[in-house]
Amino acid sequence: MGQYFPEEDQCPLEDQVKTLADDELLDFWEEAQFLDKAVTEYPASIPPSQLHYERIILQELLLRSCMRGVGLR
């Protein structure tokens, strides 16, 4: 299961998600959904820097999907 600690790592999240397998990336996306729910319920409990997880994950999934589509031609 992937974890991201922005204060402890010099590698941006955008680069880290590229190293995850598809199933790990989907698990991370699911976790981001729980994080989003927590932000909605308790907005002061989650640092603002963590709010962009879902966008980054979905961009990577879209890129992978497009790359597979190009490979099929």
Tens of pLDDT, residue by residue over 14-57, are 899 999 999 999 998 888 888 777 777 776 655 555 557 788 98
How much is the pLDDT for 27? 92
Cα–Cα distance measured from residue 53 to residue 56, given in angstroms and rounded to the nearest whole number:
5
Cα–Cα distance measured from residue 48 to residue 58, given in angstroms and rounded to the nearest whole number:
18
How much is the pLDDT for 10? 74
How much is the pLDDT for 12? 87
Q: What is the mean pLDDT of residues 58-66?
A: 91
pTM of the model: 0.64
How much is the pLDDT for 51? 55
